[in-house]
Amino acid sequence: MSGVLTGVKRFGMPLAFFASLIFPLCFGWMIPCCAKSFVYAVSLAIKELLIFSLPFAVGALIFNSISRLGIKALGYAPIIIGLVCASNFINTILSYLISAAVTNPGIDVSAAETVADGLRLLPGFTIDIGTLVSNDVAIVCGASLGLLLTLFWKESVAKLSVVFGTFTKWFFKCLMPLMPIFIMVTALKLQHDGMITKIFQQRLPVLFVFIISAYGYVVSQFFLLSLPDVKRCFWYMKNALPALIAAFGSMSSAAAMPLSIKAAEKNTGNCGNADIIIPATVNIHLVGDCFFLPLVAISVMTSLGMSFPGFCDYLPFAIHFVLAKFAVAAVPGGGVLVMIPVMQKYLGMSSEALALVTALYALFDPVITACNVAGNGAMAIIFEKVAALWKRNKRRCQ
């Protein structure tokens, strides 16, 4: 019995998000239109509040990411940040290319045209809070403050890190219970408009495309890193498997970190570098997120009648998406929450699209997190090779 309760508690958030989607399908027709209109307006107000407050949390998380590198890893900071940014950017672009291959890169209005404008559910009232600080400013301020204090005021870093950590923990603790409500009401709106079933029928295969492409990418990394000894690929994956399983069960890369470090030590043969690269990248190098979010976001957008983004429109999103990865919260579903302002601003996603992407992310969080941990295992091997090359070149210059 205790095992069942533990499982329910561990997967409580995905279950809540799943229920948020199922409830409107089963009982949405029983709710009066006026009640739907009111709660839909409330959900939009929640979204406005989220957009307003997220930049402050993003700045704090960016600060913690930079300060978490610490003095020990600061000498490797250019290598770590460069590898993480390059990897996240490449994966984000690959996700776009896969989206173009599996999605019609035009305007898919089939779902949007099924309901006349007069029959659509409209909010009973609207609230426009706006933003006080943009995500871009929050990222720059958080990164600059973290770097300066780490270099010149080490004691202040530790104190501020505690304060910012407490703030972000409180912020997401308050935010997470609101997200299932936000998603359920948006799903209720889509059910009223007769669109939610069409979306799942048309776009469910995209989720399988994500699993094949993301995990295939990580396996190919292990394969290429093992060359010319191909058998070593299986050794790499065998060592990484316990951390991957732990990440799947806990939905937390941080919870699987001890096993990730142990796997990195075996795969690289260097305990010192493993102790640096895994803690430094556990929450910022996210292969699963980079594949899942753009792929599913574009699929949901086109299902709702929005146009497929051109590459020139997608590129600014990809750049800000990579930068925002330094502000991902170490909580289930945190990877998508800090991306909501980025997806809204640079992809022009509607509230309905954001709610569906958030729900799908939460449902697939175990699979995404496990992919993130597997990708970090490959990153540890890459870092070991690059760091060794950097040291050799440094000795030659001396």
The residues, ordered by sequence, that sit 6+ positions from 375 with a Cβ below 8 Å of its Cβ are 87, 218, 221, 285, 286, 287, 288
Structure tokens at 283: 């929450």
Q: What is the pTM of this model?
A: 0.73
Tell me whether residue 360 is in a domain.
yes
Q: What's the rounded Cα separation, in Å, for the pair 218 and 226?
A: 13
Structure tokens at 387: 């760091």
Tell me whether residue 1 is in a domain.
no
List of long-range contacts for 264-272, beta carbons under 8 Å, 24+ apart = 264/377, 264/380, 264/381, 266/239, 267/235, 267/236, 267/239, 267/240, 267/377, 267/380, 267/381, 268/380, 268/381, 268/384, 269/384, 270/384
pLDDT along the chain (398 residues), means of 10: 44 65 74 80 75 74 67 66 90 93 57 48 69 68 74 70 75 72 73 66 75 92 87 89 82 77 85 75 86 90 84 91 76 72 86 80 84 91 83 64
Tell me whether residue 392 is in a domain.
yes
Tell me whether residue 6 is in a domain.
no
Question: pLDDT value at position 393?
Answer: 67
What kind and span of H or E run contains 58? helix 33-74
> What is the span of the domain harbouring residue 281?
12-397
CATH number at residue 103: 1.10.3860
DSSP annotation of 10 reads H
Structural domains in the chain (count): 1
Cα angle 297, 302, 306 (rounded to 5 degrees) comes to 100
Tell me whether residue 62 is in a domain.
yes
Tell me whether residue 41 is in a domain.
yes
Tell me whether residue 7 is in a domain.
no
Question: pLDDT value at position 253?
Answer: 79
Tell me whether residue 2 is in a domain.
no
Question: pLDDT value at position 34?
Answer: 82
